[in-house]
Structure 1
Amino acid sequence: MDLRALKTFEACVRLGHFQKAAEELQYAPSTVTLQIQRLEADLGVSLFVRDGKRVIVSEAGRWLHQEAAALLKSIGSIRQTVSDIAAGDDGTVRFAAIEPLASQRLAPVIAGFCKSRPKVELTMEVSGSKSILDRVRAGELDFGICSAPHASLMLEFEPLVEERLGVMLPANHPLAERDSIEASDLAGLTVLVKEPTCIYRELWETTFCPAGRSRFSSIEVGSFFVIQQMVNASAGVGIVPIYGGLELAGSTVIRPFADLNPVLGIGIVYRDKNLLGKAALLLMNAVREVCASEPSAS
């Protein structure tokens, strides 16, 4: 069935007159009559009963009007949704980011995005770089925010920030009085580090233990915020990215290294920008803007 004919039929029944339907639809009266005749021929039934000058809706016409009204409303909703998706005001976005950047920089961005585009179904995950890269490559995520991918993954990468490792210390620790710390100052201390699959753990090992053998007594901890609490409890010193938000006011501080420069590049990774929806592109741009407006962790 021709949707235009259904729309014309619905208007005729709703307004109760062919002429009024023609005026609303901006058709010539003859066009309305022709569309109704074609629709009746297509269905093989009479939709209107002519009674002199009166035109009465038949039983089949009354049933069709109910169905046509619902169908046209659904089509209108479909058109609006498609338009909203094209504008970035609807649709779905799936992405993941590593910690602590996710909580320290991205949380306000995500909150603002959700507030301005409430119809977008947003899924944000917090994971490690390797998992993020694998899932972006597999198409399970629209994009990720993590360390640079290996060339073999054939992913696009846009650098955002450079993060530096520092040492988290209790505020009353003797080393906390210094502006920076040398690696040798950690001798004899218990060092709290992330798990082996963490990109920051990899940076720590390649920078401080290039021979593959750790010079420090260490404890593996799966969360930077748990490291924060353990440092606060004097269980050791933590190796963490330098973010002021990770410090506990009056309890813990983070100091940079004086003799080494452990730097990790973090950026946006995706397969093909042409495959991304408008909402995903808008969110990526918001992430770029906040990272460009804030100083790098250093």
Structure 2
Amino acid sequence: MDLRALKTFEACVRLGHFQKAAEELQYAPSTVTLQIQRLEADLGVSLFVRDGKRVIVTEAGRWLHREASVLLKSVGSIRQTVSDIAAGDDGSVRFAAIEPIASQKLASVIADFYKTRPKVELTMEVSGSKSIIDRVRTSELDFGICSAPAANLMLEFEPLIEERLGVMLHVNHPLAGQVSIAASDLAGLTVLVKEPTCVYRELWETTLCPVGQRPLNSIEVGSFYVIQQMVKAEFGVGIVPMYSGLELEGYSVIRPLSDLNAILGIGIVYKDKHLLGKATSLLMNAIRDACVKTKSHSE
């Protein structure tokens, strides 16, 4: 059985006439007759009894019509889904991003994308750069937003933005009134830093070491939100990337580090663009556009 013959058969049963089926399907009447004859020969049964110009469906034909109708609807659904996936209106996208870019820049992009493509199954995770890179490499993730991977991993990396480290301080802190903070200003303070696996912690330590000044009293905190809340409680100062969205109005401010070249490149990492689905490519484009707009506004 082929699908064209089943489609012709379904039309003949539904319309009760070969000629009407031919008109609907835009076939020649002889084509309809030939397809039905081939279908009957393939099944070894008569599907119709001819009654003049009308056709009456046999018992076998009635059963086949029920099954064929379900099958044709399923095929139609399959065709539509495949078409939607090819257009980026269906399918699945699984990616991950580091904080705080995930919440500060990507949340609104994801919301806008999903509003226009509600059938796409989106999974967004928040993780560290090393974990994201490893999972992109093993194809668990379609792409990631993180720091650059090592060259030997053979992954594609497109830089999006450059982030600078700053110091989060309570508005009442003596240093809050300064335009920028020097590393020497932090001596003797309680400094809140992320865990050792965080790229911002790594950046902080690699840029601070040449200066030769390492705060004596530092506390590891696994969340920028918790650092934010601890600063709000006037407990220590936090080492964070320069995002105005991390500041708490009336409670905290972020000042740039003046004497440290603490810059981190963040971008899109993926394995092979030819393996990416259309929806994935469209979402990556939306993220690129959002980062370009943010960069142009900051300039």
1:202 aligns with 2:196: no
Partner of 1:153: 153
What SS does the aligned partner of 2:295 have?
A: coil
Displacement of 1:23 in angstroms is 0.3
Q: Which amino acid aligns with 1:83?
A: S
Displacement of 1:52 in angstroms is 4.4
Displacement of 1:37 in angstroms is 0.4
User: Whole-Å Cα distance in 1 between the matches of residues 51 and 200 of structure 2?
Assistant: 84
Partner of 1:25: 25
User: Whole-Å Cα distance in 2 between the matches of residues 86 and 74 of structure 1?
Assistant: 18
User: Whole-Å Cα distance in 1 between the matches of residues 163 and 264 of structure 2?
Assistant: 5
Superposed, 1:265-284 pairs within 5 Å as: 265-284=265-284
Partner of 2:68: 68
User: Whole-Å Cα distance in 1 between the matches of residues 275 and 33 of structure 2?
Assistant: 46
Q: Does the aligned pair in 2 maintain the 1:160–1:268 contact within 8 Å?
A: yes
Q: TM-score, normalised by structure 1?
A: 0.97
What SS does the aligned partner of 1:235 have?
A: coil
Displacement of 1:250 in angstroms is 1.0
Q: Structure 1 residues 69 and 45, CA, compared in 2 at 3 Å: closer, same or farther?
A: same
Q: Which amino acid aligns with 1:276?
A: L
RMSD of aligned alpha carbons: 1.5
Partner of 1:144: 144
User: Whole-Å Cα distance in 1 between the matches of residues 2 and 259 of structure 2?
Assistant: 76
Partner of 1:84: 84
Displacement of 1:55 in angstroms is 1.8
User: Whole-Å Cα distance in 2 between the matches of residues 165 and 247 of structure 1?
Assistant: 14
Q: What is the count of residue pairs matched by the alignment? A: 298
User: Whole-Å Cα distance in 1 between the matches of residues 52 and 294 of structure 2?
Assistant: 78
User: Whole-Å Cα distance in 1 between the matches of residues 53 and 85 of structure 2?
Assistant: 47
User: Whole-Å Cα distance in 2 between the matches of residues 158 and 193 of structure 1?
Assistant: 27
What SS does the aligned partner of 1:71 have?
A: helix
Q: Does the aligned pair in 1 maintain the 2:186–2:215 contact within 8 Å?
A: no
Partner of 2:239: 239
Q: Write the deviation string for residues 32-82 of structure 1: whole angstroms up to 9, x where unpaired.
A: 111100000000000011244442100000000011111111111111100
Gaps of 5+ in 1: none
Partner of 2:103: 103
User: Whole-Å Cα distance in 2 between the matches of residues 269 and 61 of structure 1?
Assistant: 56
User: Whole-Å Cα distance in 2 between the matches of residues 140 and 255 of structure 1?
Assistant: 38
Superposed, 1:127-142 pairs within 5 Å as: 127-142=127-142
What SS does the aligned partner of 2:176 have?
A: helix
Partner of 1:193: 193
Displacement of 1:152 in angstroms is 1.3
Q: Does the aligned pair in 1 maintain the 2:195–2:222 contact within 8 Å?
A: yes
User: Whole-Å Cα distance in 1 between the matches of residues 87 and 50 of structure 2?
Assistant: 47
User: Whole-Å Cα distance in 1 between the matches of residues 238 and 281 of structure 2?
Assistant: 36
Higher mean alpha-carbon deviation, 24-33 vs 287-296, is at: 287-296
Displacement of 1:214 in angstroms is 3.7
Q: Does the aligned pair in 2 maintain the 1:186–1:216 contact within 8 Å?
A: no
Higher mean alpha-carbon deviation, 253-262 vs 11-20, is at: 253-262
Displacement of 1:211 in angstroms is 9.1
Q: Structure 1 residues 53 and 101, CA, compared in 2 at 3 Å: closer, same or farther?
A: closer
Partner of 2:4: 4
Structure 1 vs Structure 2: percent identity of aligned residues? 81
User: Whole-Å Cα distance in 2 between the matches of residues 55 and 254 of structure 1?
Assistant: 82
Superposed, 1:174-189 pairs within 5 Å as: 174-189=174-189
What SS does the aligned partner of 1:200 have?
A: helix
User: Whole-Å Cα distance in 2 between the matches of residues 116 and 242 of structure 1?
Assistant: 31
Q: Does the aligned pair in 1 maintain the 2:189–2:215 contact within 8 Å?
A: no
Q: Write the deviation string for residues 112-169 of structure 1: whole angstroms up to 9, x where unpaired.
A: 0000000000000000000000000000000000000001111000000000000000
Q: Does the aligned pair in 2 maintain the 1:209–1:215 contact within 8 Å?
A: no
Partner of 2:116: 116
Q: Does the aligned pair in 2 maintain the 1:170–1:176 contact within 8 Å?
A: yes
User: Whole-Å Cα distance in 1 between the matches of residues 185 and 43 of structure 2?
Assistant: 88
User: Whole-Å Cα distance in 2 between the matches of residues 79 and 93 of structure 1?
Assistant: 20
